[in-house]
Amino acid sequence: MSGRNSFKKLTENISPERRARIETKKIELREDMELAELRQAIGISQEALAKHLEVLQPAIAKLEKRADIRISSLRNMIEAMGGTLEIKAHFPQGDVTITNYQGQ
């Protein structure tokens, strides 16, 4: 394996300041993801998600591409991935969590 290094070896000399910048960037990227990116980051395939939701895989692909998705569909997908959906409205006076869409 000439010319190749392990990821650990490549990153062992990163300064604490750079590590802090990397961590900050990772947090920022996690805060803003499309559904497909979120599913991939969690490590769930479209097939597995479809099976959990009792739909076919193409239905998941279609939902991930939609710009306008029903809240109930979004909530079901997020819960199938192990999360919970929270809807917040942001105002200059502060944030408000919308509770009648929580599915409680």
**Domain regions of the chain by residue span:** 7-98
Using a cut of 0.95, tell me whether the model's pTM lies above it: no
- Element (H or E) spanning 37, and its range? helix 35-42
pLDDT tens, 30-88? 667 889 988 998 899 999 999 999 999 999 999 999 989 999 999 999 999 999 999 99
CATH of 7-98, one of 1.10.10, 3.10.20, 1.10.260, 1.10.3470: 1.10.260
